[in-house]
Amino acid sequence: MNKVNSQILIIEDDPVLSNNLKTLLEEEGYKVAAAENGKVGLKYALNFKPDLIICDILMPGLSGFDVKKELNKYDNSFDIPLLFLTAKTEMTSLREGMELGAEDYIFKPYKASNLLKIVKLRIEKKQRVIAKIIEENKNQRNTLESPNSILINQGNKNILLNIISIKAIMASNQYSNILMENGKTFLVRQSLNDWEKKLPKKNFQRIHRSTIVNIKFLEKIEKSKVYLKNYSEPLDISRRFLTEFKEKFKS
């Protein structure tokens, strides 16, 4: 396990406990971020996707259970391993946490050696799962992909997309949004530079640092805006791409 590249998020409203836990994990070589409450922790988790979350249960505002419920709503965060940090030992509380998908409980006061063992085990388990998925996707992609199709991963499912049915691809932080001809959208962790290498240049054109469009769906170009068929929102086109794009549109 590469601890240097493993990031842990602590969500704990007790600053002393949070700081002690952060110091312990950093001394083991982990990258650690700390959030003082559930609201801040949830925002951080959704934006940065840590490898593991250690979360207190009883906190003002969003409780630890509330945080996990929110994480469960999204494909890119429901499977982040989460350990509940708590002094509660009632069976009903334990059962609720496990039913939400928590990986384990750490009880206060904890032994440093036990906590580090649990953290190491859970991160390694997630890394093995990811490695297996990557290998399976690679094998499936080699089998299924063709010049006319591309395989993407959505949660626990692989979906084969018809390339020519892609209307546009728009960057969204470290992800990209794929807009399909039928109106469906897919969010994938892939840069536009990677997409440019895969997509046929005769069909697809970059119009902005954050946008690639399929010229098959072009409706019109007005000043610095591009309009796609059956898509209400105009897309910005950068000056550097405008001349080249107009020539391709004419042809």
Q: Are residues 70 and 108 in the same domain?
A: yes
Q: Which of 134, 157, 184 is the last residue of a domain?
A: 134
Residues in the chain with pLDDT values less than 70 = 1-4, 88-92, 134, 136-147, 156, 246, 248-251
Predicted TM-score of the model (pTM): 0.56
Q: Are residues 27 and 104 in the same domain?
A: yes
Q: Which of 105, 134, 163 is the last residue of a domain?
A: 134
Q: Are residues 151 and 125 in the same domain?
A: no
Q: Is residue 241 part of a domain?
A: yes
How high is the pLDDT of residue 66? 95
User: CATH no. for residue 180?
Assistant: 2.40.50.1020
Give 60-78 pLDDT, tens digit per residue.
999 999 999 999 998 888 9
Rounded to the nearest angstrom, the gap between the alpha carbon of residue 21 and the centroid of all alpha carbons in its chain is 26
Q: How many domains does the chain have?
A: 2
How high is the pLDDT of residue 222? 85
How high is the pLDDT of residue 143? 52
Q: Are residues 25 and 115 in the same domain?
A: yes
CA distance linking residue 66 with residue 177, whole number of Å: 28
How high is the pLDDT of residue 107? 87
Q: Are residues 8 and 97 in the same domain?
A: yes
Q: Are residues 60 and 166 in the same domain?
A: no
How high is the pLDDT of residue 53? 96
| Structural domain for 123, as ranges | 3-134
Closest CA to 12 of 77, 47, 73, 57: 57
With 0-12 / 13-18 / 19 or more C-beta atoms within 10 angstroms meaning exposed / middle / buried, residue 111 is: exposed
Q: Is residue 139 part of a domain?
A: no
